[in-house]
A and B are shown apart, each in its own frame.
Chain A
Amino acid sequence: MTEAYQTREDAAAALAEAGIRASQVRQADTQLRWMLLVLLAAYLGVALLMSLSPHSGSTFAAVGIIAMLVAAVAFAVVVGVRIRAYSRAAIRLYFGTIIAFNLWNALVTSLSTGTRFWAQGQPSYHFGISEAVGVIPLVIGVWLLSRRRD
């Protein structure tokens, strides 16, 4: 295969071509960030609704949360079907972000209940604050996947 490249210029051109193809895959990698953004948006949306709702809950919040989750799942499926290529680094980053998000979120939830930041009598917006902290790994994951375009 390599024998086809007789000159330095041919070899340099082939290397440049390989670089272009690799960058096309890196650009495709950025599609994965939309999956994380959907999760981020749904999570923050639910947090906002819960923050604005009274402790006893409301029909508006319940319907809003269900609608948001259904829309998020539908959007994630559409984005997932449209993904046509991804690199090993991007898929590791994607699943790494999901795992980090779950672990971090579990820690934030435990601390919020353990310190009675979430408790009867506390303002509803405490829930929103905890959730905003809980999504930090998702924000970092989205940022790292976006950088793969460079």
Chain B
Amino acid sequence: MLAAAEQAEFGFVRDNVEVTDSMLSKQMSALEQAGYVKVKKGFVGKRPRTWLSLTKEGRHRFARHMNALREIAS
């Protein structure tokens, strides 16, 4: 999902991937530590908002992963 998006809000990813807050948070922390995901926190009014996006390295790795999948599938 993040590969298709320039940025996606945490809640959007959670709702579409159908995982819990804690599970997504754990996954994103791991991917952020690996340098694949960038997490940006901010506020809209008084509401906290977390925006997720892939880093350049994350996009590169995802593209490689997709290529590998295509090779297996073909």
Contacts and interface: CB of A to CB of B under 8 A. Distances in A.
B6 A87 contact: yes
Interface stretch (A11-19, A65-73, A116-124, A129-137): A11-19
B23 interface: no
B73 A84 contact: no
Contacts, number: 65
Using C-beta atoms within 8 Å of the partner chain, give the interface range for chain A.
20 to 34
B39 interface: no
A52 to B, nearest CB: 38
A25 B70 contact: no
B73 A15 contact: yes
B19 to A, nearest CB: 13
A5 B6 contact: no
Contact of B3 (A10, A18, A26, A84): A18
B8 interface: yes
Given A25-B4, A26-B4, A81-B44, A18 B9 contact: no
Nearest to A3: B68
Q: Which of B5, B6, B61, B70 has the most CB of A within 10 A?
A: B5
Interface string B55-74: 00000010001101110110
Interface of A: 1-2, 5, 7-8, 10-12, 14-15, 18, 21-22, 24-26, 28, 81, 84-88, 90-91
